[in-house]
Amino acid sequence: MSADDEPEAPQAFDDSRRLPGPNRWYGSPAVELTALTTAAQDETALAAWAQRVRSLCAALHWPEAQPQAQRHGASATLAFAAPEDMLFTATEVNEWAWERAAAAHGALADEGVAPTQPDSDDLPAMAAHFGRRAADERSRPLARLKAAAAARGVPVFVDDDSVSLGAGTGSRGWPRAALPLPMDVPWAALHDVTTVLVTGSNGKTTVTRLLAAMAAAAGRVAGSCSTEGVVVAGRTVLAGDYAGPAGARAVLRHPAVQLAVLETARGGILRRGLAVRRVDAAVVTNVSADHLGEYGVHDVEDIARAKLVVARALVLAGRRDGPTGTLVLDGGDAVLMDVAARTPHVCALRDAGHLALFAPAHDHPALQALQATGGSTCGVHGGRLLWTHGGVQHDFGPVAHMPLTLGGAAGYNALNIAAAVLAAAAAGLSTDAVRHTLMNFGAQPQDNPGRLERWSHHGATVLVDYAHNPDGLAQLLGVARALQTQRQGRLGLLLGQAGNRDNGAIAALARTAAAAAPDYVVLKELPAMLRGRAPGEVPALLEATLRAAGVAPERIRHDGDEAGAARALLAWARPGDVVVLPVHTAAVRQALAQQLEAG
């Protein structure tokens, strides 16, 4: 299952189920609904929506709902806290509350929207109706198991078909329809494993793979999930996009796993929440404008708030004795740090000394302030990677000698490396294992497939990467321009985008491409990623922006197939050129790797 897989939403609603929910609920699961009718712009309708939620939750004897509504142009979002084992019922409560509030303003009838919930304002009747739904949703055998596991500090992972207790080597599972009694569970064999969450706009997969490699170097069996699949002990056990709860559960249920590294994508967080309650470290690599307009995320600050949900697994883990894990943030990312400073559970981690920061420069002001308190920081000084912890400085050597940086040209990978160093320290991995990994990881394309792979093709340098947003593409093109300057050749670029970005985001990607002054651009179609766009629409938008930015028409070519577009660029290349191939599709990337490896 993809992190973004979810049943089709009702006509007027995006019924996102969140666990553990938005940042504003400290320690409570939450459910969110986005309404798309014109009444969403009416403050009176929003107030009526929130009041209906509050009243019905009280009638159901649920904890305080704390409903909060927020408008976004023509739509509005309302989220509220709800019991963890009744989130589907809570979503229906939210739908009912909105439909009744909108109906009171005539919105549903005027727009021809059919209600999805009972057409009644009788609060006692609705409390009885949703009370029955909640009772059906709640499983008493599961509740007993959860309570017994919580008393023993054993994690529980639940999906539609199965339930497992413990993690990795200490995990056991049962079909959901045949759960054991607590007295029949082999509790002595169950335990948790060291777990790290990795999120952010760019660099997630690289940091995840680095941490898995560091764990292996330390003699631990690592399991990881990412947009590339589920990998255990270096072998892919599931291929596909598993950067969500389904991938996390697959790792945490594998009987060989001793240390879990879980890439946690935006889509998984916003649609299905976190799969874990307790982790040893959580990393937010950075935030940038990507996927705006989806699931109540409308600007970069919203992205930051969504990414920082991972910190809840650090705070909630130690709610009795204080936090037990470490949050790793990019101290040089102004938006991320600003949102973090206004987020209660992040502030709790900072105040408890469980915040670690990285930045390009080890003497960045944010890092220096944390170093003064004995905190953990990592950055570059004098071309060397330095980690400071408890006032003691550790030197990991020249950044240019670390293969992931391509001799220092890929400065953004120095940031990914710094993030991984801090997370590895929080996970208890030895400095020797970390140092060994930094000096070896990335030397071979198979170390980090699809992320800054460097190949030689008939004298040309080929860079294969997943760069899929303006910031990621700018970083990749910065590396390409540095190599181009060294080799004095031409620059060729493959360019395309999935259809679920708005016109502004697509234009921003093209402007980023044009700023690198490419000599040849092949625009690709992505037939499997049209996502509501007409065929040819995205390439046409990209070309219009490229031409407006000064790229000559004769330097632009179209290809209706990603593989064909990549082959066209390779055929164009000559010795000394640099060819940049941001590839979206894993199958195309694998075919390219075979072609490039064969020469």
Least confident stretch, 196-200, 385-389, 499-503, 566-570: 499-503
Q: How confident is the model at residue 77 (pLDDT cuts 50, 70, 90)?
A: confident
Instruction: Give pLDDT, residue 19.
Output: 30
| Contact (CB, 8 A) for 509 and 467 | no
Instruction: Give pLDDT, residue 329.
Output: 98
Q: Is the pLDDT of residue 6 over 60?
A: no
| Contact (CB, 8 A) for 466 and 451 | yes
| Contact (CB, 8 A) for 355 and 341 | no
141 vs 70, higher pLDDT: 141
Q: How confident is the model at residue 18 (pLDDT cuts 50, 70, 90)?
A: very low
Q: How confident is the model at residue 1 (pLDDT cuts 50, 70, 90)?
A: very low
Q: Is the pLDDT of residue 17 over 80?
A: no
Render pLDDT for 104-158 as a digit per residue (tens, 0 to 9): 876 554 455 566 788 888 999 999 999 999 988 888 899 899 999 999 999 999 8
**Coil, strand, or helix at residue 21?**
coil
Q: How confident is the model at residue 346 (pLDDT cuts 50, 70, 90)?
A: very high
Instruction: Give pLDDT, residue 26.
Output: 33
Burial of 331: CB neighbours in 10 Å, binned 0-12, 13-18, 19+: buried
Q: Is the pLDDT of residue 571 over 60?
A: yes
Q: Measured between alpha carbons, how far is 203 from 60 in angstroms, rounded to an integer?
A: 44
Q: Is the pLDDT of residue 101 over 60?
A: yes
Nearest to 326 by CA among 264, 281, 269, 374: 281
Render pLDDT for 418-444 as a digit per residue (tens, 0 to 9): 999 999 999 999 999 999 999 999 998
Amino acid, single-letter form, for residue 578:
V
Instruction: Give pLDDT, residue 318.
Output: 46
Residue 403 is given by DSSP the state G
| Type and span of the H or E element at 511 | helix 503-515
Instruction: Give pLDDT, residue 55.
Output: 94
Give the domains, in start order, of the chain with CATH numbers: 13-137 (3.30.70), 140-189 (no CATH), 194-447 (3.40.1190.10), 453-598 (3.90.190.20)
Instruction: Give pLDDT, residue 35.
Output: 60
Instruction: Give pLDDT, residue 23.
Output: 33
Burial of 217: CB neighbours in 10 Å, binned 0-12, 13-18, 19+: buried
| Contact (CB, 8 A) for 339 and 306 | no
Q: Measured between alpha carbons, how far is 317 from 311 in angstroms, rounded to an integer?
A: 10
Q: Per the confidence metrics, is the pTM higher than 0.85? A: no
CA–centroid distance for 219 within its chain: 27
Q: Are strands 326-330 and 194-199 parallel, antiparallel or unpaired?
A: unpaired
For residue 356, the cross-strand partners are: 328, 376
Per-residue burial over 448-459, b = 16 or more CB atoms within 10 Å of its CB, e = otherwise:
bbbbbbbbebee
Instruction: Give pLDDT, residue 62.
Output: 93
Mean pLDDT of 341-350: 91
Render pLDDT for 440-479 as a digit per residue (tens, 0 to 9): 999 988 889 888 888 999 999 999 988 878 888 998 999 9
Q: Measured between alpha carbons, how far is 269 from 284 in angstroms, rounded to an integer?
A: 13
Render pLDDT for 224-281 as a digit per residue (tens, 0 to 9): 999 889 999 999 999 988 998 999 999 999 999 999 999 998 777 877 778 898 999 9
Give the end-to-end CA distance of the chain in Å, rounded to a whole number.
35
Mean pLDDT of 301-309: 89
- The residue written with tokens 């939450």 in the block is 30
| Cα–Cα separations (whole angstroms), residue 29 to 5, 32, 173, 282, 527 | 20, 10, 24, 19, 37
Q: Is the pLDDT of residue 7 over 50?
A: no
Least confident stretch, 38-42, 61-65, 375-379: 38-42
Least confident stretch, 84-93, 193-202, 455-464: 84-93
The residues near 519 (Cβ < 8 Å, ≥ 6 apart) are 490, 491, 492, 555
Q: How confident is the model at residue 163 (pLDDT cuts 50, 70, 90)?
A: very high
The residues near 267 (Cβ < 8 Å, ≥ 6 apart) are 2, 3, 4, 243, 244, 291, 295
The residues near 434 (Cβ < 8 Å, ≥ 6 apart) are 214, 217, 396, 420, 421, 424, 425
Instruction: Give pLDDT, residue 166.
Output: 97
| Contact (CB, 8 A) for 280 and 258 | no
Instruction: Give pLDDT, residue 584.
Output: 85
Q: Is the pLDDT of residue 182 over 50?
A: yes
Supply the mean pLDDT for the chain: 86
Which sign does the torsion angle of CA 390, 391, 394, 399 carry? positive
Q: Is the pLDDT of residue 586 over 90?
A: no
16 vs 542, higher pLDDT: 542
Q: Is the pLDDT of residue 61 over 90?
A: yes
Instruction: Give pLDDT, residue 432.
Output: 96
Instruction: Give pLDDT, residue 292.
Output: 62
> SS3 for 65-118, per residue?
CCCEEEEECCEEEEEEECCHHHHHHHHHHHHHHHHHHHHCCCHHHHCCCCCCCC
Instruction: Give pLDDT, residue 36.
Output: 54
Q: How confident is the model at residue 380 (pLDDT cuts 50, 70, 90)?
A: very high
| Contact (CB, 8 A) for 416 and 360 | no
Q: Is the pLDDT of residue 79 over 90?
A: no
**DSSP sequence for 260-276:** EEEE--HHHHHHH--S-
Q: How confident is the model at residue 15 (pLDDT cuts 50, 70, 90)?
A: very low
Most confident of 200-214, 292-306, 523-537: 200-214
Q: Is the pLDDT of residue 21 over 50?
A: no
| Cα–Cα separations (whole angstroms), residue 471 to 511, 520, 560 | 11, 21, 25
Least confident stretch, 47-51, 192-196, 491-495: 47-51
Instruction: Give pLDDT, residue 529.
Output: 83
For residue 180, the cross-strand partners are: none
Mean pLDDT of 517-531: 89
